[in-house]
């Protein structure tokens, strides 16, 4: 679904850092997916793909992604009305 970079180490699944060190984890989504959030023990800690934290203990930081889909709408005859995805303004 995606890749995780820890302190610029591509594709890393784990990294050892000195206690108290400011550490950045970056998640990049593969095609067809979007980054959702970072969690630790099931708790959301960030919704930004780039997450900087201080390493004070062992932790299991999880990058969560979700699948995206393309939806196309059309109207069989525009004299009958309009079709939108989202709200009435098409947003």
**What radius of gyration, in Å, describes the C-alpha atoms of the chain?**
19
**How many Å from the N-terminal Cα to the C-terminal Cα in the chain?**
27
Q: What is the pTM of this model?
A: 0.70
Instruction: Please write the tens of the pLDDT for every residue from 22-81.
Output: 888 888 888 889 999 999 989 999 999 999 999 888 888 888 999 988 888 888 888 888
Integer Cα distance of 33 and 52 in angstroms: 22
β-sheet with 21-29: strand ranges across? 2-6, 21-29, 50-55
Q: How many helices (H) and strands (E) are present in the chain, helices listed first?
A: 0, 6
Q: Exposed, middle or buried, 49 (CB in 10 Å: 0-12/13-18/19+)? A: buried
């Amino acid at each position: 679904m995606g890749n995780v970079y820890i302190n610029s180490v591509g594709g890393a699944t784990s990294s050892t850092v000195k206690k108290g060190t400011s550490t950045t984890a970056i998640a990049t989504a593969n095609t067809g997916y979007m980054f959702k959030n970072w969690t630790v023990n099931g708790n959301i800690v960030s919704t930004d793909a780039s997450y900087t934290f201080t390493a004070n203990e062992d932790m299991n930081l999880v990058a969560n992604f979700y699948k995206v889909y393309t939806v196309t709408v059309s109207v069989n005859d525009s004299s009958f009305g309009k079709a939108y995805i989202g709200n009435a303004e098409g947003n």
